[in-house]
A and B are shown apart, each in its own frame.
Chain A
Amino acid sequence: MSLKHTELTQNPLQKIWVPWMSSKLNRRRGSSVPQFTNSPTMIVMVGLPARGKTYISKKLTRYLNWIGVPTKVFNVGQYRRDAVRTYKNFEFFRPDNEEAMKIRRACALSALKDVGTYFMLEHGQVAVFDATNTTRERREVILSYAKDNGYKVKWFSYSRHTVVFFIESICDDPEIIAENIKQVKLSSPDYTDCDKEEAVADFLKRIECYKVTYVPLDDDKDSHLSYIKIFNVGSRYLVNRVQDHIQSRIVYYLMNIHVTPRTIYLCRHGESELNLLGRIGGDSGLSRNGSKFAAALGRYIKSQNIPDLKVWTSHMKRTIQTAEALGVPYEQWKALNEIDAGVCEELTYEEIQANYPEEFALRDQDKYRYRYPKGESYEDLVQRLEPVIMELERQENVLVTCHQAVMRCLLAYFLDKSAEELPYLKCPLHTVLKLTPVAYGCKVESVFLNVEAVNTHRGRPAGDEPMCSLVSPYRHTRAKPMASPTPTRAPRLQDLGVTSLSLQVLQCPERSGQSIPQSFEINASFQQ
């Protein structure tokens, strides 16, 4: 065997060792995160309306994108809204409404086609097919589409077929259903012109339309399928034939999330001695203002009157000092430690520029994937923070006192920010971000606690567009969070091949079709 085989070179951005010559035999993976799957996965939601399918779809998609698995939701209801433009009432959903059935079927097929495009042309890894899919017939259509169209792609003598995983949500608790309707249906584009009671009445009739033909996944007849059944928002689960790593992760995630209202508080440690000196990293203590902030934080937390608040810190002195001022028990997580700047620890940006100019430049080119020499990258941080996110999902009210880079990663998860945006999210000192889950997203309140601090935010260098990464273009899934792509706008009804339409046009004015904003910021200042 030639010694040349062992010649390696280190990619300057990610500090990954790759062979000097890449050969077809060696499918070298230059990613910094192990890749577990070659086959694309189609997740198929199943369930009556108002069972949380879209909530689960969006949340799961956000999680998978954050951990670096390119995922996209395909909401068939959205295709229907784009095709039909105006929603009159529940009669559209009657099982004997042949015209409507044709349209609905066409929408589903159009969405399936887009799933294929996403896998084959857009490097998608997971597609979430969000619809009721309540009949065996519809599920068969999906399964055979996945098998026949196969989304087969030949890569290095691999062929990829699509793997299907069903998620069924079953709920008969009328209170939960009523709350669902209130949270997300009343504000749906379908009901913008109706008053609350009308909307609820219509929606309940809509559910009845589906109930007639609803056939849940059957433990005997469907025993060859891979699926999870979620009962009553998580009190019970049935898991059948988990096939691979990604399904195992999905199941674990689904079993840890809950819908109990709660609030997550994110903040950094108080201003530190090294912050004052403009130095990055290290393990210094709080400055005077930092201590003042810690005290102010204590007062703020008290004023919020949060029941059973958990407080988490990193293992670094400055976060622990901050938590100490709260006078409540706290847990230290090593995983919450600030990004390791390796050889650049405790340097100022000027010193980094002077001593490591190429490194400095590389970092600005791709701040997400850039790894400090002997240190970490944001990409590494996300990996290390995944157990923290999982535990945050399990918990209720939590205050996380951490660091700038860490807080950016956590925030990106909650607000569905991409790898490009993540390293530039604004997380100033002495400011608490209060996150409250609302509808399909997260409400953010930014609370500045009125104690001065230095600004540690370094924006994108002016005029520089983020360049393509210098990493060799091996085909594989990149482990970087991508904000969940906007739902595909479906073609109009005519394009679906449906020519005649005997639906009555509503008198109501055109609706903008805007979906609920995922996050919005309220700036507030906590006055002492």
Chain B
Amino acid sequence: MDSGEGCSDELTLSTAPRELTQNPLKKIWMPCKNGLPEKHIFQRKVCMTNCPTLIVTVGLPARGKTYISKKLTRYLNWIGVPTKEFNVGQYRRDCLKIYKSFEFFSPDNEEGLKIRQQCASAALSDVRQYLTDEGGQVAVFDATNTTRERRETITRFAEQNGFKVFFVESVCEDPAVIAENIVQVKLGSPDYTHCNTDEAVEDFMKRIKCYENSYETLDEVLDKELSYIKIIDVGRRYLVNRVQDHIQSRIVYYLMNIHITPRSIYLCRHGESDLNIKGRIGGDSGLSLRGKDFAKQLGEFILEQDISDLKVWTSQMKRTIQTAEALNVPYEQWKALNEIDAGVCEEMMYEEIQDHYPLEFALRDQDKYRYRYPKGESYEDLVQRLEPVIMELERQENVLVICHQAVMRCLLAYFLDKSAEELPYLKCPLHTVLKLTPVAYGCKVESIFLNVDAVNTHRDKPQNVEVSRMAGEALRTVPAHQ
């Protein structure tokens, strides 16, 4: 880069433009000095905030605060924002060891109040450590936080530490919803392992009563300087006040799209393809005979499941569309569901990649999540591109997604809260449908093999990931193919 030659233009900049080097793993161009990358890397992370954010839940017991906390945490981590939840009830359980009855929560139980105060402080202290020392970006402080006084304490704490605060209040008076909550998540709580259902429900209702008298909801006037979202009746209505930045805007959008209507999500890959049989990755081939057979079986399986109003989504690659065609129902094509782009390695066998690009092959094994194929994509890129799919999946009810191995791993990691390390190695075999049903705070998974044989396309991480390794070591875990 020749910036100074023959110019009468003076560079008013203090330094000449820096040389660039391309990081070999992620293929990101970064400034470097003497061939070594410079310290600062300004690359677009999905959510760029400078201050860490403290999300504070507000609401009576059984209003879905923990459900929201966990789900939001899972979503933020998946899109790449390090997030952790801090459940004060858990601190209390660790402190108290034994829960006797609702009387612990009585407003005139001084002993109880003291302990609860201490637990909240302990949790806040851990929050500070997470956000300041451990590289956390968002902390979710999950507790009732039903008094203005408690919330002011938290706000002061956040100011002192340079955190932004965003409140998420859940307001609900529908007795049916509350009853369902209690059944789903309270009866199974450690607090009630020794009680029968009726006892537990009765005690919990009395517990709620303890909070009701001192409950000060976020007020339009008194709290108008705060940033918050108030969720009313499980999403029928929202009140949003003073969204400060990008991450809060994303959080609001997410919260406004989730629902709790029971439904099932079916994930599967296309039927076995011609390239699968040859052990080649990528490409846009059609189904093999066995693949077509699978498509037929899938159609029958779907009919048996008798799913009301099922939406079917495919990618824009021939093999997923062929699979969907056999179902004889309408389907939507999403380009975002296309398989990971292997760039220069498209349609190669692993053996050929090892042959032509041994360095790339090794780098991929070193960090499969962040590794980007030359002129291609990484799993990290995939997650970015799949985010609108996840958002729409949250909005929808019963959906069947017919996609590809890497894509399915990313979607599965979202639903099952898998880390970036685990994600690229999740097992998503051909001809197997994963049925996901939301339950309590998580997701139940049923794996259904549709009894049509197929090649195995799963390559485990080999033991030796060094660049210096022998071809044999690199190829040890390659699955068999033609």
Minimum CB distance partner of A395 in chain B:
B246
Q: Does A35 contact B (CB under 8 A)?
A: yes
Cβ < 8 Å to B, chain A residues 319-337 = 320-321, 324-327, 329-335
Chain B 18-53, CB within 8 Å of chain A: the 1/0 string?
A: 101010000111010000000010111000100000
Which residues B346-397 have CB closer than 8 A to chain A?
346, 375, 381, 384-385, 392, 395
B433 at the interface (CB under 8 A from A): no
Interface size range of chain A in the complex:
35 or more
- Contact in complex: B242, A320 (CB < 8 Å): no
With an 8 A cutoff between CB atoms, is A356 at the interface?
no
Contacts of B224 in A (CB 8 A): 236
A327 to B17, CA, bound (A): 7
Given A6-B292, A248-B256, A321 and B17 contact (CB-CB distance below 8 Å): yes
Residues of B within 8 A of A298 (CB): 11-13
A 303-332 binary contact with B (CB < 8 Å = 1; else 0): 000000000100111001100111101111
Which single residue of chain A is at the shortest CB-CB distance from B18? A324
Nearest Cβ on chain B to A399's Cβ, whole angstroms: 14
Q: Collect the chain A residues with CB atoms within 8 Å of residue B7's CB.
A: 292, 295
Whether a CB of chain B sits under 8 angstroms from the CB of A391 is yes
Q: Within the complex, which residue of A242, A295, A320 is in contact with B20, where a contact is CB–CB below 8 Å?
A: A320
| Inter-chain contacts of B222 with A (CB < 8 A) | none
Within 8 Å CB of A31, what residues of B? 333
Instruction: Specify the main secondary structure of chain A where it touches its partner.
Output: mixed
Minimal beta-carbon separation of A244 from chain B (angstroms):
8
> Given A1-B326, A16-B316, are A329 and B241 also a contact pair (CB < 8 Å)?
no
Q: Is the CB of A255 within 8 A of B332?
A: no
- Within A228-284, the residues touching B (CB, 8 Å) are 235-242, 245, 248, 251-252, 255-256
- The residue in A6, A26, A295, A330 that gathers the most chain B C-beta atoms within 10 A of its C-beta is A6
Q: Please give the distance in Å from B477's CB to the nearest CB on chain A.
A: 28
Chain A residues with CB under 8 A of B43? 315, 331-332
For B14, the chain A residues whose CB sits under 8 A away are 327
Cross-chain contact A332 with B42 (CB below 8 angstroms): yes
Return the CB mask of B236-263 against A: 1 if under 8 Å, else 0.
1111111100100100110011000000
Whether B78 is near chain A, meaning CB under 8 Å from some CB there, is no
- Please tell me which one of the listed residues B15, B44, B322 contacts residue A327 in the complex, with CB atoms under 8 A apart: B15
A–B pairs, 27, beta carbons within 8 Å? A6-B325, A6-B326, A16-B333, A26-B329, A28-B330, A32-B316, A35-B332, A223-B237, A236-B220, A236-B224, A236-B240, A237-B240, A238-B238, A239-B256, A241-B236, A285-B20, A288-B2, A291-B3, A291-B17, A292-B7, A295-B3, A295-B17, A298-B11, A298-B13, A299-B9, A315-B43, A380-B335
A interface residues with partner B (beta carbon < 8 Å): 1, 3, 5-6, 8, 10, 15-17, 19, 25-29, 31-36, 219, 223, 235-242, 245, 248, 251-252, 255-256, 285-286, 288, 291-292, 294-296, 298-299, 302, 312, 315-317, 320-321, 324-327, 329-335, 345, 374, 380, 383-384, 391, 394, 528
- Taking beta carbons and an 8 Å cutoff, which residues of B are in contact with A? 1-3, 5, 7, 9, 11-15, 17-18, 20, 22, 27-29, 31, 40, 42-44, 48, 220, 224, 236-243, 246, 249, 252-253, 256-257, 284, 286-287, 292, 295-296, 299, 313, 316-318, 321-322, 325-326, 328-336, 346, 375, 381, 384-385, 392, 395
The 9 closest A-B pairs by CB, nearest first: A332-B43, A237-B240, A239-B238, A325-B17, A333-B44, A324-B17, A27-B330, A34-B332, A327-B13
